[in-house]
Structures are given as structure tokens and as C-alpha cells.
């Protein structure tokens, strides 16, 4: 178990980073390294070139511009968890980040890494999908913006092309009566991988749900929007959404229906489906409380 | 721009050369050249030689390598050294100011928060960052925030106490005092019975304690093992030609290069070879050993070793393996793969069941768990020019390593020196000779260089020797009043590929059921079966936790059947003092009833049992263990523990030399307390040198919970001899007959006139002046003739037995099946607690470890016998966030066989936990789970099946 040697690059700008990426056959970007270095140590991957993006100032920014929250891709989980700006904008984003790994991991792991690894169990994906976040992607050809909903393709596969760097995550301000929450289920109280998770964003007006987005995590090749659940919620009365109320039970079942879980060492397919039912209920109720 | 050919390679090497970085470590600026692939951990440990930062898992899961990077805790094992260029790093060495410890270090030492110490540097630094950020952190915040630092010893309880204390120190407040009632048996003692911080705690709190991997000898090279990737195969050939060409490779050994001698743990089952001879039997079996200038070179070269395997059918399930026609692991022995068969019948089982009013039977299945000490195994071997080898190792048993090496090398003990360094936890996995210890010696011999070998976390699991998974069919018969009339148990133990401790594990699985409750008729059928998986061995509670889980579960089920309270049925059958069990074990002291009464009271049992709302439950479990095995692992007449005390010529201090091993449980401290008490000196006047075969007298080491009683008796005896000599000298000085004198608290005084005294020091110096070296020696052998005469009667014998009871309260999330253990109320009869703080530490650690095994832990294999969770990422162990409140009590007791009345705690405290949690979960959800671990998934399934 060792980190095989590589050519180390530490560009000061996105442009330079992209240039290095383009000129190497197998370069990998290094942000926190909490996945990358572990996989290299385990012998699962090898790279001739490693490009550290931790010195690129624009990747470390957190700001709000014209009702858009922008988070640099190399912002760490703990920076997100503790950011007053983000907490003020949408606390569920901070709360999601706080649920990742241990403190040591959160101090180095980044939001960009969490998304770009493309793991189905990633903990930032669900809430950001539910909030319909967009990604700004940089390359030598310029920047492109893509909806997160088009980013995840399969487990560990994203629409990021060779030579591209995720630079920013952009979340638009939700309307006033919106609640959001990320419910995570791990096998240990802390520092564990999600067995299943659900993010819920509920928009309401005058006691009616005007829009909803339920995203299920770790139960499909990518975090997945449950359209069935969304349809049930949209247009319902908020008062109908109480613990084990018929409508909420139905919502949970719908989300579970939309899942495509696998059996693995953490859980069976069946259990993941069961989990989604109750986690959906909880996520919705907590989202409403977070309103 | 793919770089090809020799020039390309040179170019690549050039590009991958070291980079110079500037880093400030502990307020010193360094300019260091680092390889691109070097982790911060390597920079700290290898380049800067700051060995206080520990390598536990190497993958960012355990937190042992935590350092503060610009004030924030990070896992230094998964950060590139290059990435800290221009940053500020703080390691444990940078926390104390000169000789003045940081208040957090002070608190960890005082409160007994340090056992093996391997997690301590990381834990302490994490605490620092936590309290820097949140000076008034709540208990819940601390529990949550500390969850990235795993500890396998303490159960986090004392760590939390220490953090609360540190918080008070830092905030200028007075820390809360612990309420503590000393036991009756220590009322007149000065050193024994005191809550003293461990002798090694200051070194462990400051990163000074040396573990094997911290040692770097001149000219030292590194070794690695090539492990089998297939579960069962004939080795047709091994070609090392290409591998040997790799620059830096010194030697590669295969089966042909090492003697044919078989080794193992129990002489009756020596069945391992130094390196695979013709066959491999599990994924992880050792095929070749390599030594090179560094580990990276070893790994690179190992990839080039070509092994031609002819794969054979493999078998992974013990019940399958027992069937006729199943693939055989050994052609010439262990028919039907049955490695050990036990057929015990005591009393009359037919009669016993005939007398029963109610009989119930059930099948229980255990789990395959791994000890997971935070410190990976490590060994360093070095030969001198006189054909003598010195081995530094992280072991629980210097003597058995010594003995085994002597057998394998065919050298007398005197040609081998085994030195135990600090040991970062064992729990049984370091209780026998391991492959690193053997092969480092061979590699060092061949190369003429000292060779260091260490396991990665994954290799630890592959080496195995964890808990046997047991399949248990248990049947108990009772009278209407709850009296047990008969017990029948069949246990099938999944053994893995080799014997290890397995023969003993199998006997223990049977014998120890009879020490807790009185029953006259008992039948035990034990089968240990070889499978193509890593060998199983001895893990805390050796062989007993699964049968005990089964028994405690079934006993509670029976209590429900006959309408009896769960504690009442236990009290009805509870062991009593001076009892001879049906399988010929002699119980002496026993305060089991007191344990039951205490946990009933403390837990509020009568108000809670059966009365808690759905999803809440309370359960009881009990256990107990031997205080040291009555017989050694191989036949020998040597006393089991031995001690020598040498007093300085000026009488100022004494040094205790013992062969037994302090693996973090605190035995050095406990033995020093026993010796100091016996000599009549205070604790600050004694130090300990332990577990070095050249220097310390034979001690069998730390296994079977033996050290307090056996090492304690030897140390006490040595102390008494010293005292006798000191009294004789004082008698001359005071001109009073020796019989009228006694020594205590550094004074020698006249018994009926204590005012008349001289200092112990003066008397000791006087002795030396006329009599030469003031030395005392002591030894301990268990009483002769322990146990019955039937085959296997030796296993389960002991001079004394511990008893314990624990009540556990849980909350079950009925929608997900997730369990939150809220409380444990634990009571232990360990006789006299030589050091109550250490006893509590053992009990708390045992409770949390047991809880972790019950709820989380299980090794998972694919259909080809490859383990899928050989890490701390997928094999979860309990973190601080999972810890319940543990209230651990020591009942009054006195064991006549033990030093000052003491007996064991380390393993006995684990045993009640399994049943207690299982029973509490049943109480919460109304359905019983029969197989471990009790995962949320199983619970939810059970809840759903019940509501159908």
C-alpha cells in the first residue's frame, strides 16, 4: 500500500490546470484527496500526473451574486458546514456537508470532489439535485454551465469531459416558503457511508405545496429524482403531510418505487427500498420544519 | 505525450523526483525534500522522525494519524506531503511546553483515558482543536466531533471524562470529582486499591512511547509477504526471476528456502508452514517473503513474482465442509475437515431433561469478527555475529514467540531475544507467534540486515485469528421454579484454514457455560471445522461470547415461557462460592448474586422491564471468565509468571522485572502496585521493566486474563522477599527482632509501636551495604491438579473466576431498525480491584467492544473467499458517537487465590454484553434475533414479520 509516484502539478489558475490536464494522458485532479489518494493507495488507480487545484483562488470562493449562491469546487465540507453565507442561504446545504465522514475528512474533502467522484452514495448530490443546482465547468475552450441533473450519468461516471474542471456549484435562491432537508442513513451514528438517503425540497404557498423535489441517494447508480414522489406532493395540502399520514406514506412508497437499489455489503436491495420509504417521510417533514 | 522506452523511463523518473517544500512543524521551519507520493504522515514520521503520529489504517478511517494542519485536524495518511508546502503542522510532540504538559494531556493521564495509547496522540490533538473551537462543547458535541478518532480500548468513557476535565482546566474551573467508594478489601492498603494513573500514560500522552514501527535501526531494510490471491490451490511453481531484478530487492524467500518445520499455537495442532510448501489454503496464505530497501520496492517486485496455481475446489461454510465429499484442506488429517471434535457429557443429560418441567431449544449464529487493535502488527529482526537474533515485536506473549522461534529456528532460547515494545492493543490477535515475527527473522538472517515488517490494515484481516463464527444449537431444561436441570449445546466453529488457537477455542465454547450457573447435567458437542478462509483464533472472551450470547438469550426466552423475571431466573441458578461444577471446575470466590442485585437496582429494572414503550427495551446479560488458564499452551513445568525486584543500592527506588506484557490494559501499573504494597513502599518509588526475554524472567504474557492474578502473585511474592530482607536489616539497626517489624508507606516500624521506625530507604541501603544486591524474586504456578481427568479437562480450569452482570437499555427506530444503545449498568466481581480506574477502563472498553461486535461487526467474503471489508471503512467499529452511558461498578469481593484478593476483568466484562443487547432489543421490538450482528436490516425484517 503506497502512493505510486507521479508528476506533481500545482497550477495557480484554472487555465493552467486545464492546460496540464489536456497535455497528460491520465491526469487526475487532486482537491481533498480523500477518495483519490485512498484509491491510489489501494492500487485501484494510477496516474502519471496529479494536478492539485488547491491553490486556485476562485475555486475556494463562497459568495452570493444576484440571488445565486456560488460555491467554489475546492471548498471543503467543513467550510460549507460552517459558512454563515451558506447557512443563511439554505441551511440544508450546510447540514448535508456536516453529515459527510469525520471531521478530519470534512476538513479536506471538497464539494467538487464529492460530486465529481460520482458515487451513488455521495452526500452532496441529493440536496443539490433537489435544489436544481447548476455547475460551471471550465476548460481551455471556455466555460459551460450544466444542470447537475445532467451531470450524473452512472455510478462513478459524470458528464465531465477530459480536460474539464468543475469550477463552481451554483444554487438559485428559492422562493420564500421553501423548506429543504437531507436525511441520511448510515450504519453508525457518525463517519459512515450512506446506505440510503433522501433530500427533500418543498415549496409551498398558502398551505399548498406548489413544487417538490425528492431525491433519493445510494439506491440507484446515481442520486435520483423521484418523479413519482414529486407528483404526489405537488398540489397537496401541507397539513396532509404528517407522520404516517396516507399521503406521506404514499410519497415514501413512490420514492421507493423509483429506487433501483443493489445488494452490497452494507445492505440488501429490499432493505434499501424499505429505508427510502421512511427516510422520505422524515426528509419531507424536516424540510417543512426547516421552512 | 506518452513516454516510451528507456529514455522515457529516465524522463519519468526525473520528473518524479523529490520536491523541496517548506513547512512549519511544531513552530520549527523545515525545508525538506519529499517524493511526490509521500504522505504527510511519512514526512512527519520518516523524515522528521516525529514518531508520536501513528499509522493505524493508512486510509483515513481511524484518526490515529491526526495532526493539526493550520489548526485543523486532518488525517495525515491521506494528505500529500507536497500539499502542506507553506503550511503549519502541529503534532503531538508540539503540544507540551517543555516539561509542562498541556492540560488536555494532563487530563488524559489523570482520568485513565489512555490504555494502549495508539489512538491517544490523534485523540488528544483532535480534542485540542475541538476545545479551541468550542471551549464549552457539550457532551453530545464532543461525542459527535470525536467520531473520526477510533479507540478500541477505552470505550471512550474515560476519554470523555478526560475531555470534561480538560475543559474545566482550560476554562479555569475545578473539574468535577468522581464519586468513588473504595472496596472493603483495600481499607488497610496503601497502594493497592488506589485509582492511580498508568505508569506509561505520560509517555503515551506526549508521543514518546515507542511502538515497534517507531524503531529505525541502522542499515534496516523492509520486508513484505506475498499472499495467495486464491482460496485453495496447489502451487505448481514460483518464478522470482523478474522480481529479483528490481533495483533494491535484497532477497525473496519461498517455501523451498525455509525449513519444513510446522508451527502454530497449540502443539497438538501445529499445522502451519513458514511459507506455503505446495499448497495454499486461503486468500491471504503466505506464499513468499521479500526484503528490499523499502516497502514500495517490495510491492513493486512482488507484482513480478509469478506463481502458477492449480486451483482446487474450496469450501467456506463449516457445515458444508463437514459433509462427506467436501473439498479437504488437509489430505492426511482432519477428516471431514473437522479440526477439533469435543464430545463431553457430564451428569446425565437424559435424566436432566426428564426432570425438567419446561424445555426449550433454539439455534443461534455468531459473527466473524476481528480484534482490530489500532496498531497493526509489526516486527523487526536483527542478527548479531554470534548467531543471536533480537526481535522487537508488538506482541502479547513474549514467551510464546520466544518458544516458537526456538522451535522453528532450532536454536536454544538463549540465542533469541524477544523484546516487546509498546503494544497498541491486542485483544487476542497478538497472543501467538505471527508470520511477521517468523519471516522477519528469516529475511534478516539471509540479508544480514535488520528487517522491519508490518501489516497494513488489510493484511491484518488476511492474517486473521479473529473470532470464530459459531453455529450453536442450545437446549435448556428447567423446573417450574426456574431451576436449570439440563443443558445441551452443539457448537460448530468456523475455523478457517489453520488451527491457531482453535482447539482451545472449541473446548472453551463448551466448558465456560458451566461456570456461571449451577446445573448438574450438561452435554457439549463441539466441532471446529476448517474452511478456506483466514484462520480464526482467540478474541477477547475466547470461544465463549457466542455460546454465552446463546445461553443468555435462551435463558431469557425460557424465563418468559415460565413467567419468571429475567433477573430472578438468573439469581435462582447463579453460581455460588466454593462450588465444584459439573465439568470439574472449582469456583472459589463468587459475588455473582451481588452483581445481579446491583445492576437490578442501578438500572431501575423493576420499573422498566416489560413496561417501556414500543421501541424501547431493557435486557440483562451475564458472564464471567477465567483468571488465567490453569495450564500453559504447551506442556511445561515452569511457573506461569515470574518476577524479580532489584532495589537501588541507596534504597531510593525499586525496579520490577516481569515477563508479562502490558498491552495497554495496564498490567505494568497493576503489578507495580502489587509489588510496592508488598514491599511497603509508595508507588512513586517503583518502576517496571517488562517483557524482554533477555532481561525479564519468564512470563506467559497477556492472554486468558491471567496477568493480574498470576503476574500479581509473582510480583507480590518478590516484593515480600524484598520486604523480608529490608526488615532483617532494619532489625539490626533498631535492635529489635525481625518478627516485630513491618514496613509500609516507606517506613519500617515496630508493629506495636509504630512511632519507633526508620525509613525504608535507610533499611534497604543498610541491607545492601552488608548483604550485597537487594533483590527479591517471586513466581506463580496455579494450584496443581486443577480440573478433571477427562480429555480436554484442562481448558476452563483456572485458579479463580470472575463474574459480571450487565443491564442494557436500547432505543430502536421502528421504521429503520436502527438501534441506539442508551445505557449500560455493569457490575463486575473481580475480587479486589488493584486499580479501580484501570478496572473500570477494562469494563467500559469491553462493553463498547461487545456492543460494536453485536451491532456492527462482521467480516464479509465473496464467493471466492476474498474478504470484502478488510478496512475500517466498510468493517465498522463503534465510534464515540455510538457510545452509550456506561455505569460500571465493582462489587466487594475477595479472591483467596489472587494477589490481595484480585482476579480478572479484561475478558469477563465482554461476555454479558452480547446477551444483554439481544435481550434488550427483543424487549423493544417484541421479536428475537438469533444471529449476530443484530443489524438494522435484520431488526426491520423481524418487525415486519411480526406485524404480518
pLDDT cut 70: percent of chain B above it: 98
Preceding omega of B933 cis (within 30 degrees of 0) = yes
* Span between the terminal Cα atoms of chain B, in Å: 65
Contact B73 A7 (CB under 8 A): no
- Enumerate the residues of chain B whose CB falls inside 8 A of the CB of residue A104: 60, 63, 66, 73-75, 126, 148
Identify the three-state secondary structure at position B740. helix
Average pLDDT value for residue range B482-499: 98
Average pLDDT value for residue range A2-14: 92
Contact B603, B826 (CB under 8 A): no
B885 DSSP β-pair partners:
B823
How far, in Å, CA of B345 to CA of B347, rounded? Answer: 7
Query: Pairing mode, if any, of strands A165-172 and A68-72?
Result: antiparallel
Identify the three-state secondary structure at position B102. coil
- CA B551 vs. chain centroid, Å, equals 24
Count of other CB atoms within 10 angstroms of residue A240: 13
Angle at B48 between CA B42 and CA B54, to 5 degrees: 50
pLDDT score for B16: 67
Angle at A168 between CA A163 and CA A171, to 5 degrees: 140
Give the residue from B743, B890, B721 showing the smallest Cα distance to B803.
Answer: B890
pLDDT score for B948: 63
pLDDT tens, residue by residue, B565-586: 999 999 999 999 999 999 999 9
Query: Pairing mode, if any, of strands B451-454 and B221-227?
Result: parallel
How far, in Å, CA of B550 to CA of B621, rounded? Answer: 11
CA atoms within 13 A on the CB side of B714: 31
* Mean model confidence pLDDT for chain A: 95
Average pLDDT value for residue range B124-148: 97
- CA A11 vs. chain centroid, Å, equals 26
A208 touches chain B (CB under 8 A): no
Grid cell at residue B756 = 519507633
A153 touches chain B (CB under 8 A): no
Which of A108, A189, A267 is opposite residue B74, by nearest beta carbon? A108
- Phi first, then psi, for residue A185 (nearest 5°) are -125, 115
Which of A74, A103, A275, A286 to probe the B interface (max B CBs under 10 A)? A103
pLDDT of B776 above 50: yes
Which of B79, B868, B940 is opposite residue A108, by nearest beta carbon? B79
Among B1-5, B143-147, B845-849, the range scoring the smallest mean pLDDT is: B1-5
Helices A269-289 and B936-947: angle between axes, nearest 10 degrees:
90
- CA B649 vs. chain centroid, Å, equals 38
pLDDT of B180 above 80: yes
pLDDT of A34 above 60: yes
Contact A271 B941 (CB under 8 A): yes
B14 pLDDT band (50/70/90 cuts)?
A: very low
Which of A7, A30, A34 is opposite residue B16, by nearest beta carbon? A7
For residue A265, give the chain B residue with the closest CA. B860
How far, in Å, CA of B206 to CA of B101, rounded? Answer: 8
Count of other CB atoms within 10 angstroms of residue A228: 17
Grid cell at residue A84 = 454563515
pLDDT score for B380: 98
B123 pLDDT band (50/70/90 cuts)?
A: very high
pLDDT score for A162: 87
Average pLDDT value for residue range B460-465: 98
Which of A27, A104, A193 to probe the B interface (max B CBs under 10 A)? A104
pLDDT of B793 above 60: yes
pLDDT score for B946: 86
Average pLDDT value for residue range B250-268: 96
* Span between the terminal Cα atoms of chain A, in Å: 48
Which of B815, B821, B858, B945 to probe the A interface (max A CBs under 10 A)? B815
pLDDT score for B639: 97
pLDDT score for B10: 44
B15 pLDDT band (50/70/90 cuts)?
A: low
**Sign for the pseudo-dihedral over CA of A226, A232, A235, A238:** negative
pLDDT score for B11: 43
A54 touches chain B (CB under 8 A): yes
* Mean model confidence pLDDT for chain B: 96
Average pLDDT value for residue range B895-909: 96
Identify the three-state secondary structure at position B670. helix
Grid cell at residue B529 = 471445522
Give the alpha-carbon dihedral of B594, B154, B128, B169, to 10 degrees.
30
A12 touches chain B (CB under 8 A): no
pLDDT tens, residue by residue, B195-216: 999 999 999 999 999 999 999 9
CA atoms within 13 A on the CB side of B601: 9
Contact A214, A225 (CB under 8 A): yes
Angle at B939 between CA B933 and CA B941, to 5 degrees: 120
pLDDT score for B1: 36
Contact A234, A211 (CB under 8 A): yes
Grid cell at residue B26 = 511544531
Which of A5, A37, A107 is opposite residue B72, by nearest beta carbon? A107
Provide the strand spans (E) within B97-248. Answer: 221-227, 233-239
Contact A104 B820 (CB under 8 A): no
Contact A200, A283 (CB under 8 A): yes
Distance from B880 to chain A by nearest Cα, in Å? 9
How far, in Å, CA of B405 to CA of B398, rounded? Answer: 11
Contact B321, B489 (CB under 8 A): no
Average pLDDT value for residue range A184-211: 95
pLDDT tens, residue by residue, B102-122: 999 999 999 999 999 999 999
Contact A102 B458 (CB under 8 A): no
- Phi first, then psi, for residue B722 (nearest 5°) are -60, -45
Question: Which residues lie below 8 Å from residue B928, measured CB to CB, with a gap of 6+?
Answer: B553, B557, B918, B922, B942
pLDDT tens, residue by residue, B507-537: 999 999 999 999 999 999 999 999 999 999 9
How far, in Å, CA of B252 to CA of B288, rounded? Answer: 7
| DSSP classification of residue B337 | G
- Enumerate the residues of chain B whose CB falls inside 8 A of the CB of residue A5: 16, 35-37
pLDDT score for A5: 87
pLDDT score for B13: 45
Which of A4, A23, A105 is opposite residue B148, by nearest beta carbon? A105
ipTM over 0.90: yes
- Enumerate the residues of chain B whose CB falls inside 8 A of the CB of residue A190: 144, 147-148, 879-882
Question: Which residues lie below 8 Å from residue B194, measured CB to CB, with a gap of 6+?
Answer: B186, B673, B683, B835, B836
- Enumerate the residues of chain A whose CB falls inside 8 A of the CB of residue B69: 107
Contact A129, A223 (CB under 8 A): yes
H or E segment and range at residue B571: helix B566-573
How far, in Å, CA of B499 to CA of B505, rounded? Answer: 10
H or E segment and range at residue B69: strand B66-69
**Residue found under cell 405545496:** A209
Contact A41 B937 (CB under 8 A): no
CA atoms within 13 A on the CB side of A154: 1
How far, in Å, CA of B620 to CA of B914, rounded? Answer: 9
Contact B880, B156 (CB under 8 A): yes
Which of B36, B66, B147 is opposite residue A6, by nearest beta carbon? B36
Distances (CA, A) of B340 to B159, B870, B890: 42, 27, 37
Rg (CA), chain A: 19
Which of B37, B873, B935 is opposite residue A2, by nearest beta carbon? B37
pLDDT score for B8: 42
For residue B944, give the chain A residue with the closest CA. A274
Amino acid at each position: 500500500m503506497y502512493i505510486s509516484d507521479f508528476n506533481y502539478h500545482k497550477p495557480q489558475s484554472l487555465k493552467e490546470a486545464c492546460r496540464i490536464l489536456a497535455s497528460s494522458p491520465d491526469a487526475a485532479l487532486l482537491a481533498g484527496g480523500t477518495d483519490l489518494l485512498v484509491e491510489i493507495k489501494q492500487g485501484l488507480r494510477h496516474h502519471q500526473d496529479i494536478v492539485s487545484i488547491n491553490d486556485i483562488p476562485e475555486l475556494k470562493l463562497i459568495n452570493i451574486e444576484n440571488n445565486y449562491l456560488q460555491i467554489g469546487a475546492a471548498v471543503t465540507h467543513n467550510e460549507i458546514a460552517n459558512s454563515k453565507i451558506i447557512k443563511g442561504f439554505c441551511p440544508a446545504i450546510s447540514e448535508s456537508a456536516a453529515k459527510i465522514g469525520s471531521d478530519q475528512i470534512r476538513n479536506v474533502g471538497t464539494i467538487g470532489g464529492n460530486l465529481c467522484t460520482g458515487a451513488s452514495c455521495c452526500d452532496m448530490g441529493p440536496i443539490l439535485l433537489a435544489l436544481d443546482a447548476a455547475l460551471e465547468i471550465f476548460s481551455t475552450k471556455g466555460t459551460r454551465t450544466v444542470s447537475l441533473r445532467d451531470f450524473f450519468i452512472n455510478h462513478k461516471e459524470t458528464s465531465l469531459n477530459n480536460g474539464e474542471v468543475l469550477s463552481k456549484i451554483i444554487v438559485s435562491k428559492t422562493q420564500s416558503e421553501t423548506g429543504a432537508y437531507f436525511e441520511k442513513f448510515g450504519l453508525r451514528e457518525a463517519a459512515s457511508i450512506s446506505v440510503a438517503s433522501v433530500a427533500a425540497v418543498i415549496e409551498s404557498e398558502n398551505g399548498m405545496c406548489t413544487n417538490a423535489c425528492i431525491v433519493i441517494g445510494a439506491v440507484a447508480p446515481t442520486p435520483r429524482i423521484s418523479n413519482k414522489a414529486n407528483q404526489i406532493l405537488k398540489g397537496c395540502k401541507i397539513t396532509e403531510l404528517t407522520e404516517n399520514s396516507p399521503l406521506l406514506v404514499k410519497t415514501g412508497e413512490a420514492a421507493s418505487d423509483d429506487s433501483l437499489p443493489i445488494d452490497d455489503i452494507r445492505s440488501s436491495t429490499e432493505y434499501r427500498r424499505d429505508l427510502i420509504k421512511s427516510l422520505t417521510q422524515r426528509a419531507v417533514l424536516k424540510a417543512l420544519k426547516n421552512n | 505525450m506518452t513516454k516510451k522506452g528507456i529514455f522515457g523511463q529516465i524522463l519519468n523518473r526525473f520528473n518524479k523526483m523529490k520536491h523541496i517544500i517548506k513547512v512549519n512543524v511544531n513552530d520549527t521551519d523545515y525545508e525538506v525534500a519529499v517524493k511526490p507520493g509521500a504522505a504527510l504522515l511519512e514526512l512527519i514520521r520518516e523524515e522528521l522522525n516525529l514518531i508520536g503520529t501513528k499509522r493505524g489504517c493508512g486510509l483515513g478511517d481511524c484518526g490515529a494519524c491526526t495532526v493539526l494542519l493550520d489548526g485543523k485536524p486532518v488525517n495525515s495518511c491521506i494528505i500529500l506531503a507536497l500539499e502542506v508546502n507553506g503550511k503549519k503542522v502541529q503534532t503531538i510532540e508540539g503540544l507540551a511546553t517543555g516539561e509542562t504538559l498541556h492540560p488536555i494531556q494532563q487530563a488524559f493521564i489523570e482520568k485513565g483515558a489512555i490504555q494502549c495509547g495508539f489512538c491517544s496522540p490523534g485523540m488528544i490533538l483532535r480534542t485540542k482543536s475541538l476545545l479551541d473551537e468550542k471551549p464549552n462543547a457539550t457532551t453530545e458535541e464532543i461525542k459527535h466531533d470525536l467520531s473520526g478518532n477510533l479507540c478500541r480500548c477505552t470505550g471512550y468513557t474515560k476519554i470523555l471524562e478526560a475531555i470534561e476535565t480538560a475543559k474545566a482546566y482550560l476554562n479555569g474551573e475545578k473539574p468535577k470529582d468522581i464519586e468513588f467508594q473504595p472496596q472493603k478489601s483495600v481499607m488497610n492498603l496503601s497502594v493497592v486499591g488506589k485509582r492511580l494513573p498508568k505508569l506509561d500514560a505520560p509517555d503515551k500522552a506526549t508521543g514518546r512511547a515507542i511502538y515497534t514501527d517507531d524503531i529505525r535501526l541502522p542499515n534496516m531494510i523492509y520486508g513484505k509477504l506475498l499472499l495467495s490471491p486464491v482460496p485453495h490451490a496447489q502451487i505448481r511453481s514460483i518464478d522470482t526471476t523478474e522480481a529479483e531484478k528490481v533495483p533494491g530487492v535484497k532477497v525473496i524467500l519461498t517455501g523451498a528456502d525455509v525449513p519444513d518445520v510446522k508451527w502454530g499455537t497449540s502443539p497438538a495442532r501445529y499445522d502451519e508452514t513458514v511459507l506455503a510448501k505446495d499448497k495454499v489454503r486461503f486468500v491471504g496464505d503466505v506464499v513468499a517473503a521479500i526484503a528490499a530497501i523499502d516497502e514500495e520496492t517490495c510491492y513493486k517486485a512482488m507484482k513480478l513474482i509469478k506463481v502458477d496455481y492449480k486451483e482446487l475446489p474450496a469450501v467456506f461454510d463449516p457445515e458444508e465442509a463437514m459433509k462427506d465429499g467436501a473439498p479437504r484442506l488437509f489430505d492426511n488429517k482432519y477428516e471431514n475437515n473437522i479440526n477439533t471434535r469435543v464430545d463431553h457429557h457430564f451428569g446425565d443429560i437424559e435424566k436432566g431433561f426428564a426432570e425438567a418441567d419446561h424445555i426449550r431449544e433454539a439455534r443461534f449464529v455468531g459473527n466473524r469478527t476481528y480484534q482490530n487493535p489500532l496498531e497493526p502488527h509489526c516486527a523487526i529482526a536483527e542478527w548479531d555475529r554470534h548467531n543471536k537474533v533480537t526481535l522487537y515485536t508488538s506482541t502479547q506473549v513474549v514467551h510464546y514467540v520466544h518458544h516458537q522461534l526456538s522451535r522453528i529456528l532450532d536454536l536454544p532460547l538463549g540465542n533469541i531475544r524477544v523484546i516487546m515494545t509498546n503494544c497498541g492493543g491486542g485483544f487476542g490477535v497478538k497472543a501467538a507467534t505471527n508470520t511477521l515475527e517468523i519471516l522477519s527473522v528469516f529475511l534478516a538472517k539471509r540479508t544480514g540486515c535488520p528487517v522491519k515488517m508490518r501489516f497494513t490494515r488489510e493484511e491484518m484481516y488476511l492474517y486473521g485469528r479473529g473470532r470464530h463464527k459459531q453455529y450453536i444449537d442450545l437446549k435448556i431444561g428447567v423446573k417450574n421454579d426456574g431451576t436449570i436441570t439440563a443443558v445441551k449445546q452443539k457448537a460448530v466453529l468456523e475455523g478457517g484454514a489453520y488451527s491457531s488457537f482453535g482447539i482451545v477455542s472449541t473446548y472453551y465454547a463448551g466448558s465456560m457455560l458451566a461456570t456461571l450457573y449451577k446445573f448438574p447435567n450438561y452435554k457439549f458437542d463441539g466441532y471446529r471445522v476448517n474452511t478456506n478462509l483466514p484462520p480464526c483464533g482467540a478474541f477477547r472472551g475466547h470461544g465463549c461470547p457466542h455460546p454465552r450470547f446463546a445461553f443468555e438469550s435462551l435463558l431469557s426466552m425460557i424465563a418468559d415461557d415460565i413467567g419468571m423475571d429475567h433477573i430472578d431466573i438468573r439469581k435462582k441458578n447463579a453460581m455460588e462460592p466454593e462450588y465444584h461444577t459439573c465439568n470439574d471446575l472449582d469456583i472459589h470466590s463468587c459475588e455473582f448474586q451481588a452483581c445481579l442485585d446491583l445492576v437490578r437496582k442501578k438500572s431501575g429494572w423493576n420499573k422498566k422491564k416489560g413496561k417501556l414503550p414500543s421501541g424501547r427495551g431493557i435486557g440483562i446479560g451475564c458472564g464471567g471468565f477465567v483468571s488465567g488458564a490453569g495450564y500453559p499452551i504447551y506442556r511445561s513445568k515452569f511457573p506461569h509468571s515470574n518476577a524479580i525486584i532489584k532495589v537501588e543500592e541507596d534504597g531510593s527506588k525499586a525496579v520490577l522485572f516481569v515477563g508479562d506484557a502490558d498491552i495497554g490494559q495496564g498490567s505494568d501499573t497493576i503489578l507495580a502496585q502489587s509489588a510496592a504494597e508488598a514491599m511497603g513502599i509508595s508507588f512513586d518509588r517503583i518502576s517496571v521493566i517488562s517483557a524482554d526475554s533477555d532481561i525479564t524472567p519468564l512470563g506467559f504474557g497477556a492472554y486468558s486474563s491471567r496477568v493480574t492474578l498470576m503476574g500479581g502473585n509473582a510480583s507480590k511474592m518478590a516484593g515480600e522477599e524484598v520486604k523480608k530482607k529490608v526488615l532483617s536489616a532494619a532489625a539490626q539497626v533498631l535492635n529489635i527482632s525481625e518478627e516485630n517489624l513491618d514496613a509500609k508507606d516507606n517506613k519500617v516500624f515496630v508493629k506495636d509501636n509504630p512511632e519507633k521506625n526508620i525509613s525504608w530507604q535507610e533499611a534497604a541501603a543498610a541491607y545492601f551495604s552488608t548483604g550485597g544486591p537487594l533483590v527479591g524474586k517471586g513466581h506463580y504456578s496455579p494450584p496443581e491438579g486443577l480440573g478433571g481427568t477427562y480429555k480436554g479437562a484442562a481448558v476452563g480450569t483456572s485458579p479463580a473466576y470472575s463474574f459480571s452482570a450487565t443491564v442494557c437499555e436500547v432505543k430502536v427506530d421502528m421504521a429503520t431498525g436502527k438501534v441506539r444503545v442508551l445505557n449500560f449498568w455493569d457490575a463486575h466481581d473481580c475480587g479486589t480491584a488493584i486499580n479501580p480506574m484501570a478496572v473500570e477502563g477494562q469494563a467500559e472498553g469491553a462493553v463498547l467492544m461487545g456492543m460494536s461486535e453485536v451491532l456492527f461487526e462482521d467480516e464479509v467474503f465473496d464467493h471466492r473467499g476474498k474478504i470484502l471489508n478488510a478496512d475500517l471503512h466498510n468493517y465498522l467499529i463503534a465510534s464515540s458517537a455510538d457510545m452509550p452511558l456506561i455505569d460500571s461498578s465493582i462489587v466487594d469481593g475477595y479472591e483467596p487465590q489472587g494477589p490481595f484478593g484480585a482476579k480478572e476483568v479484561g475478558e469477563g466484562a465482554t461476555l454479558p454484553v452480547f446477551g444483554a443487547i439481544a435481550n434488550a432489543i427483543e424487549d423493544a421490538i417484541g421479536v428475537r434475533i438469533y444471529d449476530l450482528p443484530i443489524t438494522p436490516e435484520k431488526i426491520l425484517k423481524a418487525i415486519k414479520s411480526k406485524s404480518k
